[in-house]
A and B are shown apart, each in its own frame.
Chain A
């Protein structure tokens, strides 16, 4: 398994501001993913973050709203920009190990409330 540290674990933010969420992994991983889990809903993929290249965004998500950094094989950040109450959700980072293409592990999540 992989140990994933995600922070902050929760935050309450004012609308119009931005929040950067950090994801740190205890070992090198090829692919990191960012998901959103809205209340009572399943996980929706926001984007795939690959080291050394631009993140790949899913339909409905854009870089201006959710900029992602992936400076190395153990770390990534997701920024939620110009927040509105509709952005209130749990944000989760997920990793897949080198050589293990499909088995995914998750951080504990960041519970974001926008007021």
Chain B
């Protein structure tokens, strides 16, 4: 079983739709949760960063963390064709090794 599970998609939605992307994880020691966006032939770009449980909003993006369920989500409102990319969730423990553990990524396609 992988430490972080993420549906690979692809997920295709019409422009303007609300997109929900999710990850589940098994390691209860994870404290920091991130979402990265990766365009084709580019490195991952940090979108959202949250610590522990709760919600965080930044423009059209909302990140949610539910540590009791070991479940995190990224919502994209009013999706745009420019949002078409692969979205990777990533996690890290609070202490010790600080490298990130990534999900496999969900490929999103927003249709104009």
Residues of A within 8 A of B (CB): 1, 4, 6, 31, 33, 40-43, 45, 48, 92, 94, 96, 101-109, 111
Which one, A1, A104, A107, A108, contacts B100 given CB within 8 A?
A104
Instruction: Give me the 7 closest cross-chain CB pairs, A-B, nearest first.
Output: A106-B43, A42-B104, A102-B32, A42-B102, A43-B102, A108-B43, A102-B92
Candidates A42, A45, A105, A107; contact of B46 at CB < 8 Å: A105
Write the residues of chain B forming the contact surface with A, with a CB cutoff of 8 angstroms: 6, 8, 32, 34, 36, 41-46, 49, 88, 90, 92, 97-100, 102-105
Contact A43 B44 (CB under 8 A): yes
Closest to A1 in B: B46
Contact A103 B41 (CB under 8 A): no
B99 contacts across to A, CB distance below 8 A: 33, 45, 48
Given A43-B88, A48-B99, A96-B98, A103-B42 contact (CB < 8 Å): no
Say how far B96's CB is from chain A's closest CB, in angstroms.
Answer: 11
Nearest A residue (CB) for B93: A102
Contacts of A102 in B (CB 8 A): 32, 34, 49, 92, 98, 100
A109 pairs with B98, CB closer than 8 A = no
Select from chain B the residue with minimum beta-carbon distance to A44. Answer: B102
* Contact (Cβ within 8 A) B98 A31: yes
- A45 partner residues in chain B, CB cutoff 8 A: 99-100
**Complex alpha-carbon distance, A6 and B43, angstroms:** 10
- Across the interface, name the chain B residue whose C-beta is closest to A101: B98
User: Are A103's CB and B49's CB within 8 A?
Assistant: yes
Select A107's contact among B36, B43, B88, B97, beta carbons within 8 Å: B43
User: Would you call A41 and B104 a contact (CB within 8 A)?
Assistant: yes
**A92 nearest CB across to chain B (Å):** 6
Taking the closest CB of chain B, its distance from the CB of A99, in whole angstroms, is 13
Shortest distance from the beta carbon of A32 to any chain B beta carbon, whole Å: 10
Nearest-CB residue, chain A, relative to B42: A108
